[in-house]
């Protein structure tokens, strides 16, 4: 009973995926990659560990489906032997979400950040 459940990666041989990295193959198979920047594959080899991160705005009222997709991607990164990092807030939380802003953002009060 001391063993942890193993994760079995699923690759369907009927779906042609021409990528060097099993991590990128997995994301492509799951529909999480549509296009890829040239030479990106060179940074994701199966023999070297990479680090990936996502950051969340702590002033948001909740997480959403878009956040879940990013979390799934980090989980697959980890399952393929790479290192995931999740960032929450810090000073970025003090200036809020940058989406749609065209002017410099004001620093939010602790009361708003910790709401």
- pTM for the full predicted model: 0.62
Contacts of residue 53, Cβ cutoff 8 Å, sequence gap at least 6: 74, 84, 85, 86, 87
For 15-34, the pLDDT digits (tens) are 445 677 888 888 888 888 88
pLDDT in tens, 35-86: 888 888 888 778 888 899 888 877 777 888 888 888 988 999 999 999 999 8
């Amino acid at each position: 009973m001391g063993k942890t459940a193993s994760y079995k990666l699923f690759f369907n041989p009927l779906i042609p995926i021409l990528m060097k990295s099993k991590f990128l193959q997995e994301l492509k198979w799951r529909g999480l990659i549509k296009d890829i920047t040239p030479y990106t594959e060179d940074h994701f080899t199966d023999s070297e560990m990479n680090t990936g991160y996502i950051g969340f705005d702590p002033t948001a009222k909740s997480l959403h489906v878009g956040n879940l997709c990013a979390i799934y991607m980090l989980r697959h990164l980890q399952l393929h032997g790479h290192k995931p990092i999740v960032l929450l807030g810090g000073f970025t939380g003090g200036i809020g979400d940058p989406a749609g802003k065209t002017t410099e953002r004001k620093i939010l009060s602790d009361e708003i950040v910790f709401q």
